[in-house]
Amino acid sequence: MRYDAIVIGGSYAGLSAAMQLARARRRVLVIDAGVPRNRFAKAAHGFFGQENKPPRAILQEAARQVGAYPTVAFVQDEAVSAEPDAGGFAVTLAGGRRETAARLVLATGLRDELPPIPGMQERWGATVLHCPYCHGYEVGDRQLGVLANHVMSAHQAALIPDWGPTTYFTQGIFEPDAEQAERLAARGVKIERSPVVALLGKAPALDAVRLSDGRIVAVGALFTATKTHMASPLAEQLGCAFDDGPLGAYLRTDAWKQTTVTGVYAGGDAASPMHNATLASASGVMAGVGAHQSLALEIKPAA
């Protein structure tokens, strides 16, 4: 069967897009490999109505609600290629299936590359964190650190004292400029220039960091920026254009979340410079509505 739309990625953005298409009574296939970006966190925060729930539970309930619409089908697999096909698109899955649709929605998310310091990965989402709005409250009043990994790290360090006493670890690279230094001082942020070389404590707990000069500094949670990468090469295969974001490239889209390839829509972290579950869900809604309206108004993708 040729679907009206294939949604690749069945998380916050993909399920939000699929919901709009399903409610417009369109035939939708959701393909999901089941590895959302926040799977490392025990609970999600700041997402309206879902406070403190495990990410898996949020997504399972959303998938159940989307799947209740009779025109929706799900497949748990990885989409390994996508290409134009007969005025629409064909998607091939790792398991060998080939599916076709008039429209594609890419909601494939991002992959995080952490700074290469021993002990970071096993604490990711627990005591090594990217976003104070997502997890700062839970580590409030601990000794907090910001490990510089980005030109915006000094800016992040100036925010963190709202959650606890803060040390900014420059890693010997991201020295604050005069204005940043003044702001950090005004906010009571300590600055350490000797690089952090190891994280200490029984993971996922964090007790302290070891510096390259041998000193040990007590830290109960560490914020850091990751480098982000597309979780899937499909957008590149399709020839979609990208823009540079603060942490990595993201898909260029118009106001209706259509990419630069006609008929290919995109939502969520993969198509935004700002990342959280609410923003991903909102842009997924827009991608679903955009895809539906292009179908309803019969704006055909380029051959």
Ligand X SMILES: Cc1cc2nc3c(=O)[nH]c(=O)nc-3n(C[C@H](O)[C@H](O)[C@H](O)COP(=O)(O)OP(=O)(O)OC[C@H]3O[C@@H](n4cnc5c(N)ncnc54)[C@H](O)[C@@H]3O)c2cc1C
- Selected range binding ligand X among 33-41, 173-181, 189-197, 243-251, rule: CB under 6 A: 33-41
Figure out which of the listed residues 119, 125, 136, 263 binds ligand X, where binding follows CB under 6 A: 125
Can you tell me the distance from the alpha carbon of 109 to that of 96, in angstroms, rounded to the nearest whole number?
A: 23
Q: Does residue 38 bind ligand X (CB under 6 A)?
A: yes
Q: Does residue 10 bind ligand X (CB under 6 A)?
A: yes
Distance of CA 168 to the CA centre of its chain: 24
Sign of CA dihedral 248, 253, 258, 264: negative
Number of H helices, E strands in the chain: 7, 19
Figure out which of the listed residues 6, 22, 29, 44 binds ligand X, where binding follows CB under 6 A: 44
Residue nearest to ligand X as judged by C-beta position: 268
Figure out which of the listed residues 2, 23, 54, 78 binds ligand X, where binding follows CB under 6 A: 78
Can you tell me the distance from the alpha carbon of 66 to that of 23, in angstroms, rounded to the nearest whole number?
A: 9
- Tokens linked to 253: 């889209």
Site string for ligand X, 146-185 (x = CB under 6 A): ----------------------------------------
- Tokens linked to 69: 């619409």
Give least dist CB 114 to ligand X, A. Answer: 10
- Tokens linked to 262: 């006609």
Q: Is 54 helix (H, G, I), strand (E, B) or coil?
A: coil
Q: Does residue 84 bind ligand X (CB under 6 A)?
A: no
- Selected range binding ligand X among 184-192, 209-217, 251-259, 273-281, rule: CB under 6 A: 273-281
